[in-house]
Amino acid sequence: MKLRMLTLVSTLTLTALGAHAGDLTVGVTTTGVPFTFVDTATQQPTGAMVDLAAAIAEDIGDTPKFAVTQFSALIPALETGKIDLISAGMFATDKRKEVVDFSDTVYSYGDAMFVAADDDTAYQIDDLAGEVVGAQIGTTFADKLQAKGIFKEVKLYDSLVDIMRDVKLGRIKAGFGDKPIIAYQVAQTPALGVHLVDGYTPMGIGNVALAVSKENPELLAKVNASIAAMKDSGELTEIFAKYGL
């Protein structure tokens, strides 16, 4: 594993120098800590899904080239050929499967509710009927909240940080998002002024997978073969464990 990680560092360094033959352009987002984010020291994309994509690229003989993209624009970028692969904290939903193909599952988790740090109420979702809540645009959480039809408004945001700001300031009652991402950010930055609601029952459990164009079944087969090998060797578990997942 240490040898593989040294190789990944070298690969990411080469990526920063420019495009090469055999590039694999991978779409990532900067708002998905610890799945995908930008290292402030190096200004390079990093995170569990970045390491995973780099390991897959190495395994299939390509050089990863990371394209930082807003979450809601990842699938359109894949459909238009701007990227070859999506590697983010994205759930493989039936709706998304209509337009892209997903790899085998690499990680599973549910949503979390977060409220202002001084609010200790053990809310469940129906307790917020008639309130204004927030979720990130393009996520399954936003779709599920809107489908419930019990809220005064479901405000949509570009990033979780924006939702947390409005929860802290009292502009909205609660926010919803990826549990591991929120837990990591709150633990790292208490000044965000929010906390996870203890005992909250998720709206559902989703399976994270990488996505490829429906026009590229060969790449999908290669990605799945790499994932299978990493599951067998334990490397997949090690990659996620490195980021507390």
Same domain, 194 and 237: no
Whether residues 43 and 24 fall in one domain:
yes
- Model pTM score: 0.72
Identify whether the C-beta of residue 113 lies closer than 8 Å to the C-beta of residue 175: yes
DSSP reduced 3-state for 175: strand
Question: 152: domain CATH number?
Answer: 3.40.190.10
Number of neighbouring beta carbons within 10 Å of residue 177 = 26
**What φ, ψ does residue 213 adopt, rounded to 5°?**
-65, 145
| Strand order from edge to edge, sheet including 100-102 | 63-68, 23-28, 85-86, 211-213, 100-102
Query: Is residue 102 domain-shared with residue 167, that is, in the same domain?
Result: no
Contact 245, 48 (CB under 8 A): yes
Residues 12 and 74 in one domain: yes
Question: Are 185 and 162 a contacting pair, CB within 8 Å?
Answer: no
Q: What is the pLDDT along the chain (245 residues), one digit of tens a residue?
A: 444 544 444 444 333 333 344 899 999 998 788 999 888 899 899 999 999 999 999 999 999 999 999 999 999 999 999 999 999 989 999 999 999 999 999 999 999 999 999 999 999 999 999 999 999 998 889 999 999 999 999 999 998 999 999 999 999 999 999 899 899 889 889 999 999 999 999 999 999 999 999 999 999 999 999 999 999 999 999 999 998 88
Q: Are residues 90 and 183 in the same domain?
A: no
Burial of 193 (0-12, 13-18, 19+ CB in 10 A): middle
Domain that holds residue 149: 109-205
What is the count of structural domains for the chain? Answer: 2
190 and 94 fall within a common domain: no
102 with 113, same domain: the answer is no
